[in-house]
Amino acid sequence: MATVAQSPTKTKNQRPILRELKCPNCGSPIPQFTPDAQTLVCPKCNSAISETMEGLTHAPGSRVPNARIPIKIGQKITFDNIGYFVLGHVMYQGWDPEDTSDRWTWHEWQLGSDDGRLLWLSLDEHGLVLFNKWRSKVAFDPFSAMFIQLGEGVTVNIKERYPARIMGVAGELTWRAKRGDQLFMVEGRTKDKFYSIQVNDKEIEIHEGVRLSKEAVTAALGKEAGQEIEKMEGGLMQVVAILCIVFAVLGFVIALAATQSGELLRTETLDLYRGQESSFPITFYDQRPVLISVRSQTFMAENTFADVDVSVISPDDSETYVILQEFWHETGYDEGEFWREQQTAGQDAFVPFQTGQHMINLEMDIESQVEFLTVEVDLRTRHISSTWTFLYSAIVGVIGIALLYFSVGRK
């Protein structure tokens, strides 16, 4: 049976004990700190204690493994000048319903604040989030809803849904919980807030939380905890970096494929002489982009160049310059090592704003260092431009490499 203390006592952290119970399994004392406690765990045998009309009952439990950041039952923590007392600790395991081998764990601690609130501190692979209970003013179906409605016209998209179970319980909780209990998780987030919804067969609880910075964790839990948060942030940054690099490579491959996209209209081989023009006709039947590719078929002597202007003359005699193509063959020595570089091809897109017969005009610049070039010209219609895809790949790749550099530096 429960034994009530004659007068409220206090722990070493100055948290008043409402009453002290005796474990029905091993007889060890169990302090109770909040009047709303529905689950108490014996600190000695780990039994989950519940109080019923018939008295105290217990269920077998197991010790909760230590988290990456050690937070102990009874510990006093201060965030933003508000003191919190650690009441309970729960470890969860979630899994992908489509691939049950994909599993993960996270820890949560129930906190009592100096101002009388009950909150949750959650630790996953990315860091610590401090959650407050949040009440929805509208009906919400956790299994089918696409978003959480925060207020009139304000919503949060749901990011994840997955089943989970309790792997261990310690301390004191304001709800009944034991190892093996199953629940359903729904998660959403905005730029600066996280929303966690826990569903069991009796109730739905919605919590709104904010991520704690490394500085806040260091101030509250010490330097080692702050360093652990920094490692987690570095790990997340490394994952994002790798994803950026993967998408950059994918974008580059798509852009490379796009350079050969479209329907081949014509291939023409022309002999170009320095300072002279050469042209051929082509008829365009629509205003879709046309890719003009130019490739040199002539081997150029070492350390020479040739510039070729490619333009299109429309049916109204207006001329549009498409490419100033540079061909060159360079050699040299760098620190005693011989090197050779050549550029023999180039391309760009042209959009015909008129239909009908056009003239493709090529002219080798008078200042070119070769007298003669044979070039092959390809025209492809219905072409998909790769310029923006190449640009996207470059930007995302640079971001990925920078994030990878900084994440490795953190670690």
pLDDT tens figures, 19-77? 888 888 888 888 888 888 888 888 888 888 877 777 787 877 778 888 888 888 888 99
Strand residues in 190-303 grouped as ranges (E): 194-199, 204-211, 263-273, 277-284, 290-296
Which residue ranges make up each domain of the chain?
1-221, 263-385
The contacts of residue 101 (CB under 8 Å, 6+ apart) are none
Q: What is the pLDDT of residue 267?
A: 94
pLDDT tens figures, 248-290? 888 778 777 766 666 888 999 999 999 999 999 999 988 888 8
What band does 387 get if pLDDT is binned at 50, 70 and 90?
low
Question: Quick one: angle between helices 223-258 and 214-221, nearest 10?
Answer: 160
Let me know if domain 263-385 sits in CATH 1.20.120.610: no
345 or 10: whose pLDDT is higher?
345
Q: What is the mean pLDDT of the chain?
A: 84
Question: Are 93 and 64 spatial neighbours (Cβ–Cβ below 8 Å)?
Answer: no
pLDDT tens figures, 67-84? 888 888 888 998 888 899
Record the pTM. Answer: 0.58
Lowest mean pLDDT among 143-147, 206-210, 318-322: 143-147
The contacts of residue 212 (CB under 8 Å, 6+ apart) are 79, 127, 128, 129, 130, 220, 229
Question: Are 290 and 385 spatial neighbours (Cβ–Cβ below 8 Å)?
Answer: no
Q: Is the pLDDT of residue 313 over 90?
A: yes
Question: Are 278 and 284 spatial neighbours (Cβ–Cβ below 8 Å)?
Answer: no
What band does 246 get if pLDDT is binned at 50, 70 and 90?
confident
Q: Rounded to an integer, what distance in angstroms lies between the CA atom of residue 393 and that of residue 285?
A: 33
Q: Rounded to an integer, what distance in angstroms lies between the CA atom of residue 37 and that of residue 167?
A: 20
* Tokens describing residue 135: 């009440």
Buried b (16+ CB within 10 A) or exposed e, 18-34: ebebbbbbeeeebbbbb
Q: Rounded to an integer, what distance in angstroms lies between the CA atom of residue 269 and that of residue 374?
A: 7
